[in-house]
Each structure stands twice: as C-alpha cells, then as structure tokens.
C-alpha cells in the first residue's frame, strides 16, 4: 500500500501509546457486543488535553446517526474542564485497533480544533496527524459565516 501521508504525520510518542491503551481499555470494559455482533457501544475514543488530563468515552450507535466516540469524548472532556484538547484517538472493540474519524468527525475536528493531533491507522502502523490535514479542501464553516454576513452585490455584472 502506497500512502501519501501529510507532512504533519509523525510516529507515536510514549504518551500517544498510553492514550491509545486508555481508549482500548475503555471499549473493552464497556462494549455491549460480542465478537462479530452489533451493539450500541463498539467504539471508544480518548484524548489528552493541554493540562495533561486524559478523558475517554464510548460511542452511542443509533440508526439516526448517534454520536461517535470522538464527539462524545470532546464533549465529556469539555464538561470536565479540559479547554485545550491536544491528541485524540478512536479504537474499535474486540481488538479492531485504531480507526480513522468519519467525515462528520473530521469536519468537527477541522472546525473546532484544527491543530489537534489525530491518531490514525497507516500501513506503517498508527501515526498522528494534524486534524486540518484529514480534510483537504474542507468546507470552511467560519469563512461561510463571514461570507453570509457580508453584503452581497446586486450588480449582475459583478458575477461575470
């Protein structure tokens, strides 16, 4: 497999490996599905904040789009007072390993925490990358808000 990793990709530190272990412990302790079974809690995420605090959470699967583990842990960490998330990782139950964030989570991370490091699987093993590198050419919500607030020209010539 030939991967084009972004320039921000780096090997995991000892702290990153410890964070990954926390996520694995969280899901193995809390999954409600046996191997090969569906369940509501099959993924966990862990993050470390700028103050060194560590937080973990599990997903809540629902066919309507229940929250992913990454979103749950971001909210739980914030509720616990963590204001500066630094690194995040998600893992699957039953030893399924590190999982990349889904598109919705990538967009949330890019909008809310563009410099957070995200541990992702690669052919060379897990690596951490900047969240902003996970979503090239992403929708820019902040720019869209500014654009929506700006007065628009009614001159059709301005569009040509």
Residues marked as catalytic = 70
Q: Strands 117-120 and 97-99, how do they pair?
A: unpaired
The residue assigned the tokens 């470390």 is: 48
As beta bridge partners, residue 85 has 49
Alpha helices in the chain (DSSP H): 14-30, 69-79, 103-112, 141-149
Under a CB-based contact definition with an 8 Å cutoff, are residues 99 and 60 in contact?
no
| DSSP percent split of the chain into helix, strand, coil, nearest 5 | 35, 20, 45
Q: How far apart are CA 114 and CA 8, in angstroms?
A: 12
């Amino acid at each position: 497999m030939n991967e084009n990793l972004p320039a921000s990709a780096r090997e995991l530190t000892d702290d990153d490996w410890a964070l990954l272990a926390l996520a694995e412990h969280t899901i193995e302790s809390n999954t409600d599905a046996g191997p090969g079974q569906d369940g509501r809690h099959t993924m966990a995420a862990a993050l470390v904040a700028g103050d060194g605090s560590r937080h973990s959470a599990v997903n809540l699967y629902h066919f309507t789009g229940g929250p992913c583990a990454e979103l749950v842990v971001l909210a739980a960490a914030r509720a616990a007072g963590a204001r500066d998330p630094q690194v995040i990782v998600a893992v699957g139950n039953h030893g399924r390993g590190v999982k990349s964030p889904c598109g919705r989570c990538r967009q949330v991370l890019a909008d809310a925490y563009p410099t957070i490091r995200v541990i992702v699987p690669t052919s060379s093993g897990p690596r951490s990358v900047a969240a902003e590198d996970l979503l090239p050419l992403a929708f820019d919500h902040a720019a869209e808000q500014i654009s929506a607030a700006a007065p628009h020209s009614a001159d059709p010539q301005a569009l040509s």
